[in-house]
């Protein structure tokens, strides 16, 4: 039986996916069953038949909501009915030994567990996720509210390592319309409308106010800001790597790693901050702005001064900063 021609919205989604997977032998699609990821999966099936790419859909059951297993099975059945190899992977969300919330909160824990599960299925193949232009705009706005730097304001990258995002140029309304054109009913996650979650409040309260007060096009403008900063980030990352190489710093060997003080103190503030951040990141430190500034402050201190950070200690000795494991670890 001949396949039905795609409608304008489903075709827009499918073409965006095709442009990203062309030439790939296999791609894994992360699908929650919601409109964005469901449209992504169906668009990938259409694109895969044209690019010769095998599409595998993975539904991760976080087991955090009642009935989550049924939601996952229903999403898998929807994909199976459309000719997509679909599988459900159940994960456990870790907690700290003291029983408290995982670092970054339950949303961060769920994201980490989900990405690990997707990576396990994907192997060396890329994982496609259904983030849209609206998600990008919300990410930039949240970064602005938190006083973030350019790295955070650059938002979601089209290709962030193994995780690829083909729908960043497409509005959420388009994925909803695409699902209608495909004749599927997506799952509506109740957490997306729960005001207890900050992103939900931004989505349903803040963005509509900005649109009404500043005029249409706010989401597109915020997403464009991310795109512009991503290009700038490439240049700044290269400058940071060049500085580290020029001064003999190998971030791949964090224990006992040293930063020369005089060149660091002489570097422009923005570059110095990035150098320190890259140095700490290589040691596994989730360095905040306060952490970076505390380390930079050692440039003005006396020899023997030090700063304790999560899991490491940075000490000034002579004209160097030395990074070691924190005492007791």
Reduced to 3 states (helix: H, G, I; strand: E, B; else coil), residue 321 is strand
**Residue 257, annotated as binding a ligand:** no
**Residue 23, annotated as binding a ligand:** no
Across 72-88, b (16+ Cβ under 10 Å) vs e yields: beebbebbeebebbbee
Question: How many H-runs (helices) and E-runs (strands) does the chain carry?
Answer: 13, 10
**Residue 36, annotated as binding a ligand:** yes
**Residue 263, annotated as binding a ligand:** no
Give dist(CA 290, CA 302) in Å, integer: 20
**Residue 35, annotated as binding a ligand:** yes
Across 19-40, b (16+ Cβ under 10 Å) vs e yields: ebbeebebbbbbbbbbbbbbbb
Token code pair at residue 154 = 């650059």
**Residue 37, annotated as binding a ligand:** yes
Token code pair at residue 73 = 């099975």
| Of 97, 91, 98, 94, nearest in space to 30 by CA | 91
Token code pair at residue 322 = 């030395």
CA angle 180, 185, 191 (to 5 degrees): 115
Can you spell out the DSSP letters for 91-137? ------TTS-PPTTHHHHHHHHHHHHHHHHHHTTS-EE----HHHHH
Dihedral sign (CA 173, 154, 254, 256): negative
- 98 sits in the region (left: phi over 0; alpha: psi -120 to 50; else beta) called alpha
**Annotated binding-site ranges for ATP:** 32-37
Annotated binding-site residues read: 32-37
């Amino acid at each position: 039986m001949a396949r039905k021609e795609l409608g304008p919205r489903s075709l827009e989604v499918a073409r965006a996916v095709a442009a990203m997977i062309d030439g790939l032998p296999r791609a894994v699609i992360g699908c929650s069953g919601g409109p964005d990821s469901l449209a992504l999966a169906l668009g990938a099936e259409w694109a895969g038949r044209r690019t010769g790419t095998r599409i595998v859909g993975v539904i991760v059951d976080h087991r955090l909501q009642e009935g989550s297993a049924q939601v996952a099975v229903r999403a898998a059945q929807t994909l199976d009915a459309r000719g997509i190899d679909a599988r459900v992977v159940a994960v456990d969300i870790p907690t700290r030994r003291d029983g408290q919330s995982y670092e970054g909160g339950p949303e961060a824990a769920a994201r980490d567990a989900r990405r690990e599960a997707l990576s396990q299925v994907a192997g060396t193949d890329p994982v496609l996720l259904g983030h849209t232009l609206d998600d990008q705009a919300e990410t930039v706005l949240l970064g602005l509210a938190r006083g973030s730097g350019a790295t955070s304001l650059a938002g979601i990258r089209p290709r962030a390592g193994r995780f690829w995002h083909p729908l960043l140029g497409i509005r959420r309304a388009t994925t909803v319309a695409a699902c209608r054109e495909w004749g599927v009913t997506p799952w509506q996650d109740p957490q997306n409308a729960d005001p207890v979650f900050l992103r939900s409040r931004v989505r349903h309260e803040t963005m509509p106010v900005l649109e009404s007060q500043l005029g249409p096009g706010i989401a597109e403008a915020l997403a464009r800001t991310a795109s512009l900063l991503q290009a700038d980030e490439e240049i700044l990352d290269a400058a940071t790597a060049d500085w580290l190489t020029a001064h003999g710093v190998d971030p791949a060997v964090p224990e006992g790693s040293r930063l020369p003080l005089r060149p660091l103190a002489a570097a422009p503030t923005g570059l110095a901050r990035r150098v320190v951040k890259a140095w700490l990141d290589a040691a596994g430190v989730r360095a905040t702005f306060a952490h970076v500034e505390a380390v930079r402050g050692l440039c003005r201190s006396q020899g023997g001064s030090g700063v304790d950070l999560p899991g490491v200690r940075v000490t000034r000795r002579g004209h160097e900063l030395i990074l070691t494991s924190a005492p007791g670890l």
